[in-house]
Amino acid sequence: MVKHIGVSCILCIFLLAGCTKSSMVDVPPRVHDIQISGKDSIAPVELYAAVGEEIRWHNQLAVPIHLGLLGVQPIVEAGCDKGFKTWFGAIKDVVVIPAGGYVSVCFLQARTVRYNIWTDIADPFHSMSPTGIIHLDEAA
């Protein structure tokens, strides 16, 4: 009988510890992936997300490409990032996405973000993508 009580207590401790580990505070933000396989091949070209969710642009090409955010106030409108921050903590509005790599950012204000991709920065007019759009709503 004592053995069963001890095992039951140990199971309760593990269950309680497991419940505290999976609290809402520890849940990472939702990630939205944008796949780029050419200047005219961005999927999705229009995206709906919530403030604080992570947006990732994936370069599926064999060469680096440039991503330019249009009309974004760089310092105050972004949280998490990969590839967007300068040494001084500011957010760049044009970043290089390495071949086969990605960059990401979490926007902190509800708004519409527009962006373009350039597959050849030496020829920006002919290598520019159609403008992509991200609609950011307040988090639920």
Distance, CA of 27 to chain centre: 15
Q: Locate tokens 């159609």: which residue?
A: 130
The answer to whether residue 95 is domain-embedded is yes
The answer to whether residue 34 is domain-embedded is yes
Q: pLDDT tens digits for 78-111?
A: 677 788 877 777 778 899 999 999 999 988 888 8
Q: pLDDT tens digits for 21-72?
A: 444 556 677 999 999 998 889 999 999 999 999 999 999 999 999 999 888 6
The answer to whether residue 127 is domain-embedded is yes
Write out the two tokens for 129: 């993508």
pTM attached to this predicted model: 0.76
The answer to whether residue 131 is domain-embedded is yes
The answer to whether residue 71 is domain-embedded is yes
CATH number at residue 109: 2.60.40.420
> How many domains in the chain?
1
Domain with 92 in it: 29-137
